[in-house]
Amino acid sequence: MMDIALITANANQLRYILAYNQGSSTYYINVVLLSASLMLQVSVGLCLVLRGRLDLKGNSEKSQAKKLNNYIVMGVFLITIINVFIASFTVTTESSS
């Protein structure tokens, strides 16, 4: 469930940045980081489905499943790092009243 929450949060944050934060100094950085995070999350999700299918087939596909598992771990690590940078570069502007 955490992956669904992260995808939803990133998509919502991307929507917000595109709609309301175009004047920000970190606009392009945030758009690139959020897009990369979303693409990686979808890729990792697809790899998880493929790995599940390989695991069901038995021992003949074990080496491919291990290799795919390594890619999944690297993808999750990259998603984590990217989201740390997203949190760092997000600028909230206070409205003057």
What's the whole-model pTM score? 0.83
Q: Return the half-sphere exposure (C-beta side, CA atoms, 13 A cut-off) of residue 73.
A: 6
Q: Alpha-carbon distance 97 to 95, whole Å?
A: 6
For the record, the structure tokens of 17 come out as 């940045």
| 8-state DSSP, 23 | T
- 40-55 pLDDT, tens per residue? 999 999 998 888 887 6
> How sure is the predictor about 93, in pLDDT bands with cuts at 50, 70 and 90?
low
* Percent of the chain surpassing pLDDT 70: 85
- 62-79 pLDDT, tens per residue? 788 888 999 999 999 999
Q: Alpha-carbon distance 11 to 20, whole Å?
A: 14
> How sure is the predictor about 29, in pLDDT bands with cuts at 50, 70 and 90?
very high
Q: Alpha-carbon distance 48 to 95, whole Å?
A: 43
